[in-house]
Structure formats: C-alpha cells, structure tokens
Amino acid sequence: MTGTTGRPTAYERLTVAPWPVPAGRHHQEPPWAGHPALGEVSGRLSTAPPLVSVDEVGRLRDELAAVARGDALVLQAGDCAENLEECGPEQAAARVTVLDALGDHLERSSGRRVVRIGRLAGQFAKPRSQPTERVGGRELPVFRGHMVNSAEPTAEARRPDPWRMLRAYEAAGTVLDAVRKRRGDRDTGPWASHEALVLDYELPLVRGGPEAVGPLLTSTHLPWVGERTRQPGSRHVTLLASVANPVACKIGPTATPDEVLLLSRLLDPGRTPGRLTLIVRMGRAVVAEALPPLVAAVRRAGHPVVWLCDPMHGNTVRAVGGRKTRYLPDLIAEAAAFRAVLEQQGQHAGGVHLETAADDVSECVGGPVGSPDALARRYTTLCDPRLNPEQARRFLNTWA
C-alpha cells in the first residue's frame, strides 16, 4: 500500500501463478523464444518493485464506475507506440501535461468531469498483421515496439532483444512518476494504460495483493487487450480476467454479440461498475450497423461497462506515397455514429480513445494539416498516425 504520490511499496511476490493462463505461444508474441536472456530478464522483472499500487487502481476503478453511471467522461489518449528515447522526466511531464490539458478542454466543453487516461508508461509493444515487411527491396522483421526491437530498417535493429523489457520497465517507472506528480491531490488525475501484449513482460509483474483484492497487474493502472488478441480464452484475455485492475478490451468490426457477451462474462463476472471498459474501433462506415446488436446484448446481460469510441483504428488509410494517415472528418463521423447508437439504447457514451502526440506533428489530415501533401512536414510516429494537440481539440469540440 502507499500514499497517492509516492511510489508503490512491495507486494507479495507471486512465485506460482494463481490462475491458469493457458501455456503456449501466441502469434503476436515476439520471436525470441529460447533467447538465453529471457530467464534472467523474467527473474529480474518478477522481483522488481510494482509500478502501481492497489490504492491507485482502486481509485481509478471508482472513477470509471462514475463514468459507467453516466456521471463523467473518459479521455484516453497518447502515442500509438511510446518512444523509449522520449521517457526522460521532462519529456514524460510534457506528455502528461498535454493529456491533462486535453482533459481540461473536454471538461470545459462538455460540462462533465473527465477521467484522463494516458496511453503511456508501458505502451511499448505493438501487435502486427505480418511478421516481416519489405523495406527498400529487403525483407525485414517488423518493428514490434521498443519493448521488443528498434524501428530503424536494418536487420540488426529489428532483432528482438529481451533486455529491452527492462529498459521499458525503467522508463515506465519514470513516466509513472510524472503521472503521479501531475495528479497530486486532485479528485481526478491522469492514469496510465497500455495494451498488455508481451506476456513475458506482463506475467512477472502480476503480484499478490491484499486478500480481499486478489492478484494485481502492477505494470499499469488499466491494461487493455487488443483487437488481435481478444479471443475469449486467449492467454491475454485470461490474464486480464485474473487480475483486480479495471480492464479494457478493443471491439472491432467483426465482433459478434456472442463473442462480446462471452468477453463481458469473462472480464466482468461480478457485473461490477468500473471493472470493464469496451473500446469500440469499427470504422465510420461500419459502426452504425455493427454496434447496435453488441450494445443491446451487453445491456440485456446487465454488464455496467464503460463504452468508449476509438475512432482511429478503423479509419486508417494510405496517402499517396504510402504514409499511413487518418482524416479528421472520418474520426468525427465515427464518433457521432457511436454516440447515436448508445443514445438510442439509453446508454451513456463514456468517452473517447485517441492516438495523440504531444508535439505539433503532421500525421493525420484535418485542421492545421490541410491536405495529404502537408503530411511530410513533421511525420515522426513510430507506428500509427496521431492527432496533434490542435487536431485533438477540434475533435473533442465535436464530441461536446
């Protein structure tokens, strides 16, 4: 246990996992099985101090419960892939400050309290649709996030290195310090979240909490399971089902009502407000048709989930020249359709999940980035295209 500003103190170290996360490999796991350093890295992570505390996680769950009741909104935002080179104390503070400012902006325009959750302090791993890519005529392993390898297009940089997990852990600690500092004693402060993807990193950071709480994933406040690993019964879903944190799950265009019901039952067996957040990422053309049966099923089953709209991941296109981009009007259209579906069923549209940069990047088209020609000015993302702060404000204006 801990105060709200200091780093968490020790938890009981779990030597035996108290739940049956299915064994075996997953198609999104880094191709480093058998690497001689894995055992040592895992051992170090399993004795490293927890990054978050039971108290913090409980506070966030209470805040999310208020969102589930319709009394507040969520703004979840940050990089698609965090950069290990941008995790120093000042850089971390700058990123948290931008998140908080966007939260203030939404709070002013919506008139509701806004729970601010960063994609930060652990957003270092990316699921990929292909294991390799062609760069300049050469076939290279894909970039999988700074927890795994480096983005530069050389064979050496792309080699997966388990030692990177320790660097990610250290960086996450520094970023979480910035999150705590910013939160101070305010009612609603920033929190950390990331996709729990690399189980070699996440599993050693599960610790035994107080008996009444149960095991805690101490790598972050709010872990989520992504669109590519959210199969009911997957190792990733089982991990999230086994920990006391509030948890989230992406819901893409192919999700069926049965699947979402099963996920809700696994991840929120107690029908606990604040426990489960569903992040809908369908695409502007699909959401109006695909979302209503899912909302109806979850509502009838009585799961008090938080519904968030991720308008980014279903609206990615390639601009001329091959850069990935997203058009602000598409994002706004998906969000409007999302809200209409929720409102039609008397449910609270709980907020948004965005990919944003703290700097004035030019990765998405809209507002200050007038056309795809302007993308080249400052396109620095390690993975997906992010909104710059002005674009994010414009998006949030339309939400309110």
Q: Report the interface residues with ligand PEP, using CB under 6 A.
A: 80, 127, 226-228, 250, 281, 313, 384
* Interacting partner of 326 out of Mn ion, ligand PEP, none (Cβ under 5 to 8 A depending on kind): none
| Binder of Mn ion out of 384, 386, 389, 399 (CB under 5 A) | 384
* Interacting partner of 250 out of ligand PEP, Mn ion, none (Cβ under 5 to 8 A depending on kind): ligand PEP
Q: How far is the CB of 185 from ligand PEP (least distance, A)?
A: 31
Q: How far is the CB of 281 from ligand PEP (least distance, A)?
A: 5
| Binder of Mn ion out of 51, 72, 80, 168 (CB under 5 A) | 80
Instruction: Identify which of residues 177 and 227 has a Cβ nearer to Mn ion in the complex.
Output: 227
* Interacting partner of 127 out of Mn ion, ligand PEP, none (Cβ under 5 to 8 A depending on kind): ligand PEP
Q: Please state, in angstroms and rounded to a whole number, the distance separating the CA atoms of residues 348 and 18.
A: 35
Range in contact with Mn ion (rule: CB under 5 A) among 49-57, 74-82, 167-175, 386-394 = 74-82
Residues in contact with Mn ion, counted by CB under 5 A, come to a total of 2
Q: How far is the CB of 335 from ligand PEP (least distance, A)?
A: 15
- Does position 310 bind Mn ion by CB under 5 A? no
Amino acid at site 330: D
Instruction: Identify which of residues 11 and 327 has a Cβ nearer to ligand PEP in the complex.
Output: 327
* Interacting partner of 116 out of ligand PEP, Mn ion, none (Cβ under 5 to 8 A depending on kind): none
The torsion region of residue 271 among left (phi > 0), alpha (psi -120 to 50) and beta comes to left
Q: How far is the CB of 77 from Mn ion (least distance, A)?
A: 12
Residues pairing with 74 in the sheet: 115, 351
Instruction: Identify which of residues 207 and 281 has a Cβ nearer to ligand PEP in the complex.
Output: 281
- Does position 86 bind Mn ion by CB under 5 A? no
Instruction: Identify which of residues 59 and 221 has a Cβ nearer to ligand PEP in the complex.
Output: 221
Residue whose entry in the numeric block shows the structure tokens 């920033």:
190
Residues near Mn ion (CB under 5 A) are 80, 384
